[in-house]
Amino acid sequence: MIKNKKIVVSVHDIAPRFYKECFEIFRRLDELEIKQRTLLITPNFAGKFPIDKDDNFIQMMNQEKQKGAELALHGLVHQNFEFFRKDYVEAKSSLKQGIEMFENAFEFFPRGFVAPQWLQSKGSLKVLRELDFYYTATLRTLKYSDGTVYKTYPYNFDWGNSFLDKITAYLNEFAVSFRKTGLIRFAVHPMDIPNGVFNKEMKMLSKLIINGWKPVSYENLKD
């Protein structure tokens, strides 16, 4: 049944640094009518691209939200496995900085947080609970504040090496072909475009939609 075939398409590393790539990703997802998608926004990518200082970026993201996309928080600067290495105090400081920049840009509190590389420390997870985030995603799980946990592994195509990315794309295509029901987490990155795997991703998504997989965002998954 369609209710048992859900796919969360999350676009990672969204920042002014990748404005052109994000624009192309959104255009292609629109063509596939994947309106509900989770956009993972990095507040200050590499410490050089603050989201609350770029009006064009803010406008694009507000337009995405109006179309049905979810805006969520994705790290702070996205460097050096930042939330995997941080203790409680460091994680709390970084999260508060990220939240402040997010709220300055979009005027609301993000419901979800996904760390870069899906890696978080115990201290980071504790801070998320204290700050009342609705959900967070790790490499193997999707956790909601009411205690609901989904055990899923994301289909990812950006491992920092273009050759590895292409090999992974073929392996993911093979693995997805066997999925019949359940939840699929499908991660898209701006660097997938220059790395040459983006078109294959879109073909995979097209097949999944044709085969009855329903696109949902993380915040609406349980509805």
Please write the tens of the pLDDT for every residue from 87-105. 999 999 999 999 999 999 9
Rounded distance between C-alpha atoms, residue 209 and residue 203, angstroms: 10
- Residue whose C-alpha is closest to residue 172's, from 183, 162, 184: 184
Query: Do residues 39 and 69 lie in contact, with contact meaning Cβ atoms separated by under 8 Å?
Result: yes
Element (H, E) at 55: helix 55-67
Question: Residue 136 in contact with residue 146, Cβ under 8 Å?
Answer: no
Distance in angstroms (rounded) separating the CA atoms of residues 56 and 66: 16
Q: Is 53 helix (H, G, I), strand (E, B) or coil?
A: helix
| Annotated domain spans of the chain | 2-215
- pTM for the structure as a whole: 0.95
Query: 67: part of which helix (H) or strand (E)?
Result: helix 55-67
Angle CA 196–200–205, to nearest 5: 140
Which whole number is the average pLDDT over 184-203? Answer: 95
pLDDT number for residue 2: 39
Average pLDDT of span 57-83: 97
Q: Answer yes or no: is pLDDT of 209 > 90.
A: yes
Mean pLDDT to the nearest integer, 21-35:
98
Q: Is the pLDDT score of 1 beyond 70?
A: no
| Rounded Cα gap, residues 166 and 128, in angstroms | 34
Q: What is the mean pLDDT of residues 53-80?
A: 97
φ/ψ of residue 10, rounded to 5: -110, 135
Decide if pLDDT at 169 tops 90: no
Give pLDDT tens digits for 108-151. 999 999 999 999 999 999 999 999 999 999 999 999 999 999 99
In terms of Cα–Cα distance, which of 59, 4, 60 is closest to 30? 60
Q: For the structural domain made of 2-215, what CATH number should be given? A: 3.20.20.370
Q: What is the pLDDT of residue 164?
A: 84
pLDDT score of 3: 59
